[in-house]
Amino acid sequence: MTDLLQPSPLHVAPPAGPPAAPDLVTISRPDGPSAAINLTGAELWFLRDATGADVLWDGDPAVWSGRCPILFPIVGRLAADTYRLDGQAHHLAKHGFARQSRFTLAETGEDHVLLRLEDDATTRVAYPFAFALSLRFAITAQGLTIAAEVANRGEGNMPVSFGFHPALRWPLRPDQPRADHRIVFDDEEAPVVHRMDANGLLATTQPSPIVERVLALRDDLFIDDALILPGVNSRGVTYGAPGGPSVRVEAENLPDLGIWTKPGAGFICIEPWQGYNDPVDFSDDIFHKPGIVTIAPGDVWKASITLRLG
């Protein structure tokens, strides 16, 4: 993965208040896919194939207002929304603060855009580290790639988790039976999946519903929230219904996977992660939290996701 641009001026968080109207940046290729990204949260707002058909969930706030939130600097929920660092407690809400932060526009072109979030006085209250999170969105002839870089600008080690949260339409097309949709894994996966308790913490395992690399999608799979697969073997999965369009989700340097929907909702989230929710018995320093990566001073951690439209 190539390096991104040099850091832009320091980000300043917007004042609290009602959500602002979407501030979208659109990218496309001639006779190819197109996408729009909201500067709030660097959230992919829509992704359309060459025919103009929407692939991404529309963010209906009556169901779930997310579309493709960015998870940083944690993934999932912490016990009591709190982590410990050098003996001190710090509050950090589920999935972190990037999804609600205003990103700066560092570069834009017809088929790509580069957004950046940097630490400021607000972020340092919850996460006392100097960082720069850069996200490069690039349209290709086949779909969209989002490349992430997290730079440690501080003088000490920095603990990080990161994840993508794309919500794909389920069904992909209105004329396709919902029950025909499935997720096909590249490789065989573990015989169990992890599940959360009522507090959003990893508490139990269950026999995996993935049979011969195929997860047949059913609403009842998600009555107890997401399916979580730490350490997946597959680099990618393919989602769709036989004989219809598909979306292949490929990840680089994101070893964990969440799959989630609200039962009956018109989306399925296929979420490559580095990190996941606190285990129910975890109470140690954040540097020891399962799924955390440690970035040394001056170093950059990189990952990417590609949504390939079939």
Q: Which domain CATH number covers 50?
A: 2.70.98.10
At residue 304, does pLDDT exceed 80?
yes
Q: Are 304 and 251 in contact (CB under 8 A)?
A: yes
Contact status, residue 98 vs residue 117, Cβ threshold 8 Å: yes
Q: CB within 8 A of 32, min separation 6: which ones?
A: 50, 139, 140, 141
Residue 18 lies in a domain: no
Among 115, 96, 112, smallest CA distance to 162 is for 96
Rounded to whole angstroms, how far apart are CA atoms 6 and 153?
A: 12
Residue 7 lies in a domain: no
Tell me, yes or no, whether 15 lies in a domain.
no
pLDDT at 5 over 90: no
> Could you please report the per-residue DSSP string of 157-199?
-EEE-EEE--EEESSSSTTS-GGG-EEEESS---SEEEEE-TT
Residue 17 lies in a domain: no
Distance CA 32, CA 49 (A): 7
What are 249-282's pLDDT values in tens digits? Answer: 999 999 999 999 999 999 999 999 999 999 999 9
Answer whether residue 85 shows pLDDT above 80: yes
How high is the pLDDT of residue 21? Answer: 59
pTM: 0.92
- In-domain check, residue 8: no
Choice among 8-12, 56-60, 206-210, 267-271 with the minimum mean pLDDT: 8-12
Per the domain annotation, does 5 fall within a domain?
no
pLDDT of residue 135: 98
| Tokens encoding 165 | 């949260």
Flag whether 19 is in a domain. Answer: no
> For 203, what's the count of Cα atoms within 13 Å in the CB-facing half-sphere?
12
Range of 264's domain?
A: 24-309
Q: How many domains does the chain have?
A: 1
**Looking at the domain assignment, is residue 10 inside a domain?**
no
Q: How far is CA 164 from the centre of its chain?
A: 1
Instruction: Please give the structure tokens belonging to residue 68.
Output: 């493709």
